[in-house]
Structure 1
C-alpha cells in the first residue's frame, strides 16, 4: 500500500506523487527536509507574510502553506500537477489558469517566469541541479531586500560547501542548522547592498554538429541535462537516426531538443513535437528551433507533459510515426525505472500502427527485455561498449 498519509504538528494531509497510479509503494511525496522547514517556519511566519516557495517536489509545502497564499515556483510539470491534485484532495479547492497552472490559493509559476513583488520569506528546497540553484539565487537578487528571510533545506549530502558558497555569493551571509533526520536547514540574510556578481551564466550557448554535417548553436537553460556539450548517448543516437519528410516525430524527454533538431536537419518537411516535464528544457528547445530552423518553427510543438500523457489526452492527436527517446532513470533524487516504463507504454499507445519507438540507453538498464515484453519484438539498431539503440515497432 502506498504511503500517502502525512501527519505533522497536529495536521494531516493525504499527499501523492503525481501520477498516483504510477507511484511506487516505497516512495512518498514529502521528506524530512519538508518537515524541518515546517517546524522552523511555523514558529516564525507572520499572518501577513509574503511567501515564496521554490522546488517543492510534490506540493507538500504548497498544501501546508496554502493559507498564506504563497507564490510557488517549480520547473517541473510533475510538481505542478502534484500540487494541483494534492490541494484538491485535501479540501483546498484550487483554481487554474489558461496554461493549466494553479492560480489560487497558490500562485504557481515556472522557472522561466519573472518573480513578482518583494517576499518577506523565501522557502527553498535545494534542487538536484546546482546550476538551477544558481539561476534561482540570481533571480532572487531582483526581488529580495534586507528584511527578507530565506530558509532552505535539503538532505545533509545536498547541503555542500558549494551550495553554501552560492548563497553567500549571490545574496549574503549564510549559516546552517544541525542535522536532523539526515536533513539540514540553511539560513541566509540578504546583504545591503547585495554582493557584486557578474551577470547570470545561464542560459549557456555552445555549438554542435548534426548528422547532416550542419553546425548549430545550442542554448541550454540552467536545469537542462548536459548544458555544455552533447552527452554521449545523444551523440550516438544522432549517428543512427533515420527520419523522412513524411514523419511526425516526438522528441520525448527532449532536453535542449537536440534529437528533434537533428530530425529537422535530416527531413526539413517533417513535423516535430518536443515533450519534456521541465519548462526550462522546453524553453531551450523552442529557442534552438527558432535560432537554427526558423522557417520550420510552425512545424513544431512544445508540450509540457508527464511522459506522453498530455498528447494522449488531446482529442486532435496527430498520427505520430516515430518517438525518439533517451529515458531518464531518476526522479528528483530517486533512482527509478517507472518513468521509462511509462514512456514505453505511452509511446505504444500513441504511435500509429507500424510506427517506431527508438530508444538510446545505457546497456546495463536492460530495456531490451521491457520493450520486447511490451511491443512483442525489438531490434538492436546499434551498440557500443556503454550504449545501445533499440527500435520497437507497433504492430
Structure 2
C-alpha cells in the first residue's frame, strides 16, 4: 500500500520519468511499482529494504551511508523523524548528485518536512514547495553551493556512562533510538540483571548497543548478538562493541526473521513506534516467536511502558511471568522457558 508521501510522489510522476533517481528511506516498497523510470533505492531500514528488493533486486542499497561514487540526476528523501538524521542524509547524498541535479524532500506536514528550506540552506540558495496533498508536502532544490566532505564517523556521538556499577562507552548516530543518551527504560532493565549466562545472548532492538555491551561486560563468556531493523543502529552497535573491547555481532533483521540458533538469554527494550504512528506489531510478533530461540531454563528480560500489555503474550509463549519492577512509567518482566 502506498503511504500518503508516496501518493504525493505519484502525483508528480513526470519528475521521475527522466534520468536516474534515488529514493531514500521510502515508507513503503509499493512506490517502486507505482513510479516508472530508472529508480534506485537507498534504505536505512531492513524491512522496507527486503520488500523493495523483491521488486527490483539490483537497484537497492542497505546501509548507514550511501556510496558517494554513485551519481544521480535526482534524489528524493523521505523526511525522517529526527532532524539531525535528515541533516546527515543531506550531507552524504549531496555528493551523489550529477551537476544540475535536484533534491526533493517529501513527508508529513507534522513530521518536519516544512523545515526543508532551512535544511537545504547550506547547499542551495532556493528551496521551494513543489506540491502538497494527503497532509504531506514536497519540496525541491538544485544544490548550487560547495558542500563539505562527508565522513560518517564525524557524525558519531560517543559518550561514557555507568549503569549498575558497569562502565560503558556508547557510540550512536543520528536517527538511533535515544541518540546520545541512556533512556530510562533501558537503565531500569539493566539494573535488574544480576547475572548473565555463558554463551550466546540476544539483544533485540539493540539501538546503539547498550544492552549487548552491558551483557558482554558483565560476563566475558557471554556472546552478544545485537539485532535491529535500522542500519544506523547496527553501525552504532558495532562501534560501541569495539569501543568496549567486545567481540559482539550486530545483525540487521526485520523482527526475528534473520535470527538463527538458540540463546542462553534474551534481553530487550523492544520498539513500539514506527514513524509518526504507534505500532506494537513488531513486539507482539517477537513475544509469539521467541520461544524456539530461547534455550530451556534461559531467561528473558523485557522492559516496556507500563500501559503496554505484553505480559499476556509472554505468558502464552513462555509461561509464568515475574514482574521485577512495576513503576508508573515502566515495567520490567522476567520469564524463563521451562519446557
The two structures share one fold, judged by TM-score above 0.5: yes
Residue 53 of structure 1 is matched in structure 2 by 23
Distance 1:374 1:113, change over 3 A: same
Unpaired runs of 5+ residues, structure 1, are 1-28, 88-93, 95-101
8 Å CA contact 2:263–2:295 kept in 1: the answer is yes
Residue 176 of structure 2 is matched in structure 1 by 224
Alignment partner for residue 174 of structure 1, among 111, 127, 142? 127
8 Å CA contact 1:171–1:188 kept in 2: the answer is yes
CA distance in 1, matches of 2:243, 2:219: 17
Distance 1:352 1:247, change over 3 A: same
CA distance in 1, matches of 2:16, 2:21: 9
CA distance in 2, matches of 1:124, 1:341: 30
Residue 14 of structure 2 is matched in structure 1 by 43
Alignment partner for residue 286 of structure 1, among 213, 238, 255? 238
TM superposition score normalised by structure 2: 0.91
Higher relative contact order (CA 8 A, sep 6+): 2
Residue 234 of structure 1 is matched in structure 2 by 186
CA distance in 1, matches of 2:75, 2:66: 16
Distance 1:240 1:247, change over 3 A: farther
8 Å CA contact 2:16–2:35 kept in 1: the answer is no
Unpaired runs of 5+ residues, structure 2, are none
Distance 1:344 1:146, change over 3 A: same
CA RMSD of aligned residues (A): 2.3
The reply on whether 1:210 has 2:163 as its aligned counterpart is yes
TM superposition score normalised by structure 1: 0.79
Distance 1:32 1:161, change over 3 A: closer
Q: C-alpha displacement at 1:178, in angstroms?
A: 4.9
Q: C-alpha displacement at 1:131, in angstroms?
A: 2.1
Q: For each residue in 1:288-340, what CA deviation from the matched residue of structure 2 results, as whole angstroms up to 9, or x when unmatched?
A: 111112xx31xx222111121212xx4xx2x3121101111122333121111
Provide the secondary structure at the position in 2 that maps to 1:139: helix
CA distance in 2, matches of 1:360, 1:35: 37
The answer to which structure has the higher strand fraction is 2
1:97-136 pair list within 5 angstroms: 102=57, 104=58, 106-136=59-89
Distance 1:338 1:291, change over 3 A: same
Q: C-alpha displacement at 1:341, in angstroms?
A: 0.6
The reply on whether 1:356 has 2:299 as its aligned counterpart is yes
